[in-house]
Amino acid sequence: MTDTSTGSAAQLLGRLRLPVVAAPMFLVSGPDLVVAASRAGILGAFPTPNCRTLDELDTWMGTITDQLGEATPAEPDARAPWAVNLVTHRSNSRLADDLALVAQYQPDVVITALGSPLPVMEVVKSYGGLVIADVVNLALARKAVAAGVDGLACVSAGAGGHTGHLSPFAFCSAVRDFFDGIVTIGGGISDGAGVAGAIAAGADLVYMGTRFLATSESMAQQEFKQMVVDHGPDDLIISAGITGTPASWLRPSLVANGLDLDALATPAPRSYDSGGTEDVAKRWKDLWAAGQGLQTITSIQPVAQVVDELERGYLEAATRLAARAIASAQVK
């Protein structure tokens, strides 16, 4: 079994009010959402392809750093932690430039996606950051562990956007057979009870995107937010016909854009080039993705209010679990 747990990993988890990551969402997560999430006591994150230019990425990272405050040697944990998501697929021509800004601004966590984490390891480790690899199956999880990552983000069935096929709980149990680092699971978890269940199952963090999509600080279009509020998990469709990778889409948005749902059975060519973000964005601008946690979202709320609700549900579930454990012990 591989153990990559470090003091910095323990410090990160200890700095969070709740073990939740506001997962990076394409065209949705921006500085406002990251700052609000981190200030509320969870880990805010955004994907660098949300910035069309390096200048814009520089501005975003500077804004987040300024608003979350600077850490000091005397108080290294004073600043709320944040994360950035890098696409490491070979088609991303901007990776080296994005990574240079990572070295400059030093986010606490770098989440890699759609490719090997190896290209980011040296830079992130040089300043003491953590690398978490976004994976959708066990084969990719093993490769990421072999590369020396600090954590895995196990994207499971029920996740919005690019999704996986394994149950979050099955995925967590399987990776715990060979990995003792940070395990993050996501896929349809959108309330505090789900977070408590994930932690009880052996996860360290929960990846939660859809729950923060319909927040005041999200960059999603108002119509997108309202569609999330108005629809449920039966209104989703899984298809690789748009980006080339299986993703969970809101069926009403596909129909509204005149797409032939039968034709989406054929995978599209894969391209994840941050340098060509404008072209990629066109595929997502009006074609909206979401995960199976839709049912818990009944209104558009500020991030802080969502986190308050998650905390209440988490503590209530933890109390129920503790009571059950005590009762079981007494039976013995």
Cβ atoms of residues 29 and 218 within 8 Å: yes
Over residues 313-332, the mean pLDDT reads 90
Cα(50)–Cα(25) distance, rounded to whole angstroms? 9
pLDDT of residue 281: 56
Cα(178)–Cα(200) distance, rounded to whole angstroms? 18
pLDDT tens-digit profile of 205-239? Answer: 999 999 999 999 999 999 999 999 999 999 999 98
pLDDT of residue 286: 82
Helices 168-175/192-200 angle, 10° precision: 30
Cβ atoms of residues 197 and 266 within 8 Å: no
Q: Give the chain's mean pLDDT.
A: 90
pLDDT of residue 100: 97
Three-state secondary structure call for residue 132? strand
Over residues 277-304, the mean pLDDT reads 83
E strand or H helix that includes residue 139 = helix 138-147
Over residues 24-37, the mean pLDDT reads 96
Q: Which residues contact 254 (CB under 8 A, 6 or more apart)?
A: 237, 261, 264, 287
Question: Residue 247's beta-bridge partner residues?
Answer: 162, 239
pLDDT of residue 246: 86
DSSP letter, residue 215: B
pLDDT tens-digit profile of 230-277? Answer: 999 999 999 888 878 888 999 999 999 888 887 777 666 665 555 555
Cα(6)–Cα(3) distance, rounded to whole angstroms? 9
Q: Is the pLDDT of residue 68 over 90?
A: yes
pTM equals 0.90
Over residues 41-53, the mean pLDDT reads 96
Sheet of 161-162, strands arranged across: 161-162, 247-250, 236-239
pLDDT of residue 98: 96
pLDDT tens-digit profile of 131-154? Answer: 999 999 999 999 999 999 999 999
Domains for the chain: give ranges and CATH numbers: 7-217+297-331 (3.20.20.70), 222-285 (no CATH)
Cβ atoms of residues 163 and 238 within 8 Å: yes
Three-state secondary structure call for residue 86? strand
pLDDT tens-digit profile of 93-126? Answer: 899 999 999 999 999 999 999 899 999 999 999 9
pLDDT tens-digit profile of 172-209? Answer: 999 999 999 999 999 999 999 999 999 999 999 999 99
pLDDT of residue 241: 84
pLDDT of residue 38: 96
